[in-house]
Structure 1
């Protein structure tokens, strides 16, 4: 597995697994938690070591259970979770602290590799106040790296200017049809690792056909080409699948390399 070094020095796998419907009835985001760890254990068996969850997903404990059931030690995994950008979590320092500690407890760990502010809100000073509490957790070694999710360039710029520990990651929407080029470029220029959530979502039939044509050269499918494009341009990806075979396919990105012409063509999708 290839990795990227975050600004606190830790290494993050360039491919991880999303989990927002894992352990839920009918595999639905708002489904009742059923504790099913099948997909998590299959993902680990297939080679995934990075898992992305969040307080809002309600399944941090399911992720912890699944990883524990594999028998592998905690140090084998890169765990990301997120604190909601909601008043209940940012209203004061105690609320932020309680949010972080709730993630640690649910994930049954004494540290998290990456912790993100899940969504921005319309008060930059409040976001900075939350950030400063997260910085203190980094100082203690409890959070190995911190970052944001769904932040626009102006919101990210504010944190970059005023923070002591710069955001390591910005997890954003990026997929064929909406590559989010400007924001990705801004992140890379400021040494913030862009990470794509839902990298295989909302893909048109036309885009899939073009990606399939490119993939035929390498005996790869459209999804593998889309993910390879992201990785090759410096974007971490966290595809999610409940299907064992697709999980395996989404990891098989390192035995081919897209040409410059192919990269340009894919960028236009």
Structure 2
């Protein structure tokens, strides 16, 4: 698995698996948690070692269960989770600590590789206060790296300027309908690794057709073309699939390179 190096020096797998509908009835985001680890174990068998979850997904315990069932050492995996940008989690330092402890307990792990503030809210000072508690957990070794999700330039810049530890990652929406170039380019300029959530979502039939034409030149699918485009511009990707074949295909993106002409065409989609 190829990696990028975070500003902390930690190696970050350049592709991982989203999990927000894993372990839930009917694979529905709001579905009841049923503890089914099938998709995660399938992904592990395919070669995934990077998994992304969150308190808001309610399935951290399912991810933790799957890692245990895999019989693989904890240090073989890179696990990301997220604390909600909600008052019950940022009201004071104890509220933040409660969230971190909740994640550690649910994942059944002594540490989390990357912990993100899931969403910003309209109070930069409060976000910095939450960040400072997360920094303390980095000092303790319970969070190996910390970052943010869905932050714009102003919000990310505020933490960079005022925090003690620089955010390592900014996870943002990015797909053909919204590449989100401005914040991705800003993150890269600040040495904050951008990570795309939903990289294969909201792709129109027209875009799929055009991307498939590009893929045919490389014997690749439209989805593989999208993922390759993202990693070639320095963006980590976390596609998600309940299908074993597609999980495997999403990893098969390291044996080709897009031409400059193709990349220019894709960026215009």
**For 1:74 and 1:180, how far apart are their aligned partners in 2?**
33
Matched residue, 1:163: 163
Matched residue, 1:130: 130
Matched residue, 1:23: 23
Shift of 1:206: 1.1
* Superposition map of 1:92-241 within 5 A: 92-241=92-241
**For 1:149 and 1:142, how far apart are their aligned partners in 2?**
20
The one-character-per-residue Cα deviations of 1:145-184 (angstroms, maximum 9, x if unpaired) are 0000001111111111101100000000000121001111
Shift of 1:60: 0.3
**For 1:78 and 1:62, how far apart are their aligned partners in 2?**
15
**For 2:71 and 2:139, how far apart are their aligned partners in 1?**
30
Shift of 1:120: 0.3
Matched residue, 1:59: 59
Helix, strand or coil at the partner of 1:51: strand
Residue 73 of structure 1 pairs with residue 73 of structure 2: yes
**For 2:90 and 2:125, how far apart are their aligned partners in 1?**
11
For normalisation by structure 2, the TM-score amounts to 0.99
**For 1:132 and 1:78, how far apart are their aligned partners in 2?**
23
Helix, strand or coil at the partner of 1:144: coil
Aligned residue pairs, count? 269
Matched residue, 2:4: 4
**For 1:190 and 1:68, how far apart are their aligned partners in 2?**
36
The one-character-per-residue Cα deviations of 1:38-62 (angstroms, maximum 9, x if unpaired) are 0000000000000000000000000
Helix, strand or coil at the partner of 2:218: coil
Matched residue, 1:242: 242
For normalisation by structure 1, the TM-score amounts to 0.99
**For 2:193 and 2:47, how far apart are their aligned partners in 1?**
22
Helix, strand or coil at the partner of 1:217: helix
Residue 255 of structure 1 pairs with residue 255 of structure 2: yes
Alignment gaps of 5+ in structure 2: none
Matched residue, 1:89: 89
**For 1:250 and 1:48, how far apart are their aligned partners in 2?**
10
Task: Tell me the C-alpha RMSD between the 2 structures.
Answer: 0.5
Shift of 1:7: 1.4
Shift of 1:8: 1.4
The one-character-per-residue Cα deviations of 1:6-30 (angstroms, maximum 9, x if unpaired) are 1111111000000000000000000
**For 1:181 and 1:86, how far apart are their aligned partners in 2?**
27
Structure 1 outlier segments of 4+, above 2 Å: none
**For 1:34 and 1:109, how far apart are their aligned partners in 2?**
21
**For 1:184 and 1:261, how far apart are their aligned partners in 2?**
21
